[in-house]
Structure 1
Amino acid sequence: MNKFWTIVGHTYFSRVKSKSFIITTVITLTIIIGMANLPSIIDMFSGEDESDDVLVMDESGMYGDYLLEEGVSEGAGVSFENFEGTEEEAKEAVIDEEYDGLLVVTADEDNLPEGEYYANRISETGEQVQIEQILQQLKVMTGTQEAGIDQQTLDTIYAPVTLQTEQLDDSARTAEEMNQSRGLVYAMLFILYMTVLIYGQMIATDVATEKSSRVMELLISSAPPIMHMFAKIIGIAFLGLTQIIILLGGGYFAIQANEGSMAGEFFEVMGLTNNDPIIYVYAVVFFLLGYFLYATLAAMLGSLVSRIEDVNQLVTPMVMVIVVAFILAMMGLSMPDSTLITVTSYIPFFTPMIMFLRIGMLNIPFWEVGLSIGIMVVTIVLLAALAARVYKGGVLMYGKSGSLKDIKQAMKLSKKE
């Protein structure tokens, strides 16, 4: 057993001290901290607190006073100012950037307001959008007054309709419960997806690297290949756990530092609060099962190649499987009770993502969860037995490789040992 932990330690420390691990962790942590501070950064550069100063020329003689009333442009980021000069003088002031824009208000044939807006730069998300909304409100108000409709009647018409809902299926989750779980489901899907892609590739590459440097011959002479395979899987798991803790810890403290502008709102929107504790237990269970399933497969594939260049070619089918699972899970967020999602949740390579999706978004019977976990455990055991035989023979294979057909040759070599 000491040999097992020696290999685990060697795998872990050789990776955790590597420049690639340190650089990747620092860059990712920087991105997370940057996203946590995004509202502050946007405010710093956008100058949101400053209103756009817009000149108003009322050629209709009817609407200028309304636009200049206090509170009309409040919250729209626009500040109106009456201009008594000519239109050309007003345009010159805008060109010289003394003001941000010029609004010329006229009346159409029905005595309803319309306007022309002039600015140095016009964009789809500029202040003209807010100005258009203000004019629209003015048009509605003027039109209703002309039609003899008072404001109270108008407010009654535009008030939201009352619709009471009652759920008849007691086993179905309410919209509130689904929203509470959605954030955790998102987090689980992305973490598992990235973990399999990054650390699965790392396991396969690590095995290929040791084979290419002939270190493997020394390792298998001191410890059985099966022990070496699972020690490497555990060592990379500890490495991944270290990186996840660093990133989650950094993200947590970054969000806490911006608590006033982000933290409460973030957790509420993402639904990371008020979840049933059992969902977190399932998240850990399916994450671990998914990792060991794909990590075992990656170690087996990595043992078949003797050159690092061949790793990507051989692990591509595994990557495609996890990509398909991720796409199905993303689709399932909007239709978790569909037949496609239900059936694929029992396919072992899809189960970690899709069954957890169903657990988070639906109230499914415990036997379905137990059945999916049982199928995964059996699959991992069978895959581990196959991987152990392939790994035992694969680590002794050198020369050109990179095809799944090499599995047969590896199994033949394992019988000779």
Structure 2
Amino acid sequence: MNKFWTVFNHTFLSKVKAKSFIITTAIFLLFIIVIANLPTIISMFDGDESESKDRIAVLTQEDQLVSTLNERLEVTDETITLEQADFAEEDIETVIREEEYAGVLVIQPSETTIIEPIYYTTENQWETEMLLEQLLQQIKVELATNQAGIDQAIVTDIYQPIPFQTELISKETGVEAKSEEQLSSTRGLVYVILFLLYFAVITYGNMIAMDIANEKTSRVMEILISSSSPTSQMFAKILAIGAVGLSQMSLFLAVGYAVILNKKDELEGGFFEYFGLSDIELSTFIYAIVFFLLGYFLYATMAAMLGSLVSRTEDVQQMMMPVILLIVAAFMIAMFGLSTPNSQLVTISSFIPFFSPMTMFLRVGMVDVGMWEIALSIGILVLSIAILAILAARIYRGGVLMYGTSTSLKDFKKALLLSKK
């Protein structure tokens, strides 16, 4: 057992102290801080220019239109200000090029559409253009109804949106279905966990295989197997690099939480309520941890097994291709399942061990799943990890003794034969 912890500590400390780990972690932390303060950073570069950019001149014969538009802009967008133009239409190009205004809106009467607006600007401002178009469309409807003698209150009632609601009913009697708010919140959590598992498998699985290949390349493996059993080495490396990943992700979450708390004045109702996590059941968080850990151990065991078959770090990527294809396929099915969690493809794949860490957790979060289905999926996954661990331990025992070019899955047989010696 002491030898197990020796390998564990050596692997953990060597990865944490590596320059690549430190630089990558620092870059991600900086990225989190920048994203959290992005509006502040943008405003620093904008300076006082924002005021002039939001000024729009309106050239029209109907002076009331300008005040009406300004009243509605105060409700929808306070950053835009409309001003009555004090220049002629032939001076529009000169005014625009001098950048005195962000744009010039010309509103002319029309026999067919009542008003005919034209917006002049030097750059694409699609948000401003869409907003002005919507407001002018509303004004056009009001003018048309007034000309037709229709009461404006009637028009307002016609355009009033209906209170459409969706009530979900559980397929099982006595079980309360999840509300629309719970589904929206859970969908966000599922999305995050799927990305975390995908990132963990690709990054840390490749790290396990690369670490084993490095030790074989430097002949350190020959010293290690003389002092510790290959099986003990394999599980020590899997757990150590898993601890590295957990430490890195915990650091990301801690910094992200600290940055968000720094903006506590913007939080309404607390951290979880602000991000829509207060409606998520506690069991969903527990399942997220369970399936994340089981998914990591499944793919990490495969990575250690495949990494033991190569002798050069250059061959690791090629040997890891089956693992990458499996996790990509699982991720794609899960992304498809976010919109159709009850589909037959998602249901079947939730019982296939290579896909179930993502797809069964997706189903648990998004739909009502019977406890027997969850237990069966977890049972199959645990059994698969156990079988794969036994097979991987044998292949690892023989694979660490193999040197030379090994980039084919045919080397499994050779590794198994060596493990018996």
Letter in 1 for 2:279: N
Query: Does 2:378 correspond to 1:373?
Result: yes
Q: Match for 1:79 among 66, 78, 81? A: 81
Alignment partner, residue 126 of structure 2: 125
Query: Does 2:343 correspond to 1:338?
Result: yes
Report 1:57-206 matches (<5 A). Answer: 57-58=59-60, 61=61, 63-69=62-68, 70-74=70-74, 75-76=76-77, 77-110=79-112, 112-119=114-121, 121-125=122-126, 127-163=128-164, 165-169=166-170, 171=172, 172-206=177-211
Q: RMSD in angstroms over aligned alpha carbons?
A: 2.1
Letter in 1 for 2:83: E
Alignment partner, residue 2 of structure 1: 2
Query: Does 2:329 correspond to 1:324?
Result: yes
Distance of 2:336 and 2:43 partners within structure 1 = 34
Distance of 1:282 and 1:164 partners within structure 2 = 29
Distance of 1:414 and 1:67 partners within structure 2 = 85
Distance of 1:306 and 1:156 partners within structure 2 = 75
Q: SS state of the match for residue 85, structure 1?
A: coil
Report 1:31-70 matches (<5 A). Answer: 31-45=31-45, 50=51, 52-58=54-60, 61=61, 63-69=62-68, 70=70
- Could you tell me how far 1:269 is from its partner in structure 2? 7.4
Q: Is the 8 A contact 2:170 2:368 kept in 1?
A: no
Q: Is the 8 A contact 1:182 1:270 kept in 2?
A: no
Alignment partner, residue 395 of structure 1: 400
Alignment partner, residue 245 of structure 1: 250
Alignment partner, residue 222 of structure 2: 217
Residue-by-residue CA offset, 1:332-369 (whole Å, 9 max, x unaligned) = 01111111100000000101111000001111111111
Alignment partner, residue 296 of structure 1: 301
Distance change >3 Å, CA 337–CA 218, structure 1 → 2: same
Q: Is the 8 A contact 1:12 1:235 kept in 2?
A: yes
Distance change >3 Å, CA 374–CA 275, structure 1 → 2: same
Q: SS state of the match for residue 107, structure 2?
A: strand
Distance of 2:393 and 2:290 partners within structure 1 = 23
Distance change >3 Å, CA 344–CA 141, structure 1 → 2: same
- Could you tell me how far 1:49 is from its partner in structure 2? 6.4
Q: Is the 8 A contact 1:255 1:263 kept in 2?
A: no
- Could you tell me how far 1:124 is from its partner in structure 2? 4.9
- Could you tell me how far 1:173 is from its partner in structure 2? 2.9
Distance change >3 Å, CA 338–CA 166, structure 1 → 2: same
Query: Does 2:359 correspond to 1:358?
Result: no
Moved >6 Å (runs of 4+): 262-266
- Could you tell me how far 1:140 is from its partner in structure 2? 1.1
Distance change >3 Å, CA 144–CA 261, structure 1 → 2: same
Q: SS state of the match for residue 391, structure 1?
A: helix
- Could you tell me how far 1:196 is from its partner in structure 2? 0.5
Q: Is the 8 A contact 1:310 1:402 kept in 2?
A: yes
Residue-by-residue CA offset, 1:294-353 (whole Å, 9 max, x unaligned) = 111110000000110011000011101001101110110111111110000000010111
Percent identity, please.
50
Q: Is the 8 A contact 1:53 1:81 kept in 2?
A: yes
Q: Is the 8 A contact 2:186 2:280 kept in 1?
A: yes
- Could you tell me how far 1:182 is from its partner in structure 2? 1.4
**Alignment length, in residue pairs?**
412
Distance of 1:116 and 1:265 partners within structure 2 = 46
- Unpaired runs of at least 5, structure 2: none
- Could you tell me how far 1:272 is from its partner in structure 2? 2.3
Distance of 1:353 and 1:323 partners within structure 2 = 11
Q: Is the 8 A contact 1:52 1:127 kept in 2?
A: no
Distance of 1:113 and 1:31 partners within structure 2 = 48
- Could you tell me how far 1:277 is from its partner in structure 2? 1.0
Residue-by-residue CA offset, 1:37-57 (whole Å, 9 max, x unaligned) = 223334444569636222222
Distance of 2:170 and 2:27 partners within structure 1 = 47
Residue-by-residue CA offset, 1:34-91 (whole Å, 9 max, x unaligned) = 2222233344445696362222222xx3x32221345143233332222343223344
- Could you tell me how far 1:274 is from its partner in structure 2? 2.7
Which moves more between the two structures, 269-278 or 386-395?
A: 269-278
Q: SS state of the match for residue 119, structure 2?
A: strand
Letter in 1 for 2:219: R
Distance change >3 Å, CA 242–CA 167, structure 1 → 2: closer
Distance of 2:300 and 2:137 partners within structure 1 = 60
Distance of 1:32 and 1:78 partners within structure 2 = 31
Q: Is the 8 A contact 2:57 2:82 kept in 1?
A: yes
- Could you tell me how far 1:255 is from its partner in structure 2? 1.7
Residue-by-residue CA offset, 1:187-217 (whole Å, 9 max, x unaligned) = 2111111000000000000000000100001
Distance change >3 Å, CA 110–CA 187, structure 1 → 2: closer
Q: SS state of the match for residue 71, structure 1?
A: helix
Residue-by-residue CA offset, 1:376-405 (whole Å, 9 max, x unaligned) = 111111101100110000000001111110
Distance of 1:124 and 1:99 partners within structure 2 = 13
Which moves more between the two structures, 383-392 or 93-102?
A: 93-102
Distance of 1:335 and 1:66 partners within structure 2 = 47
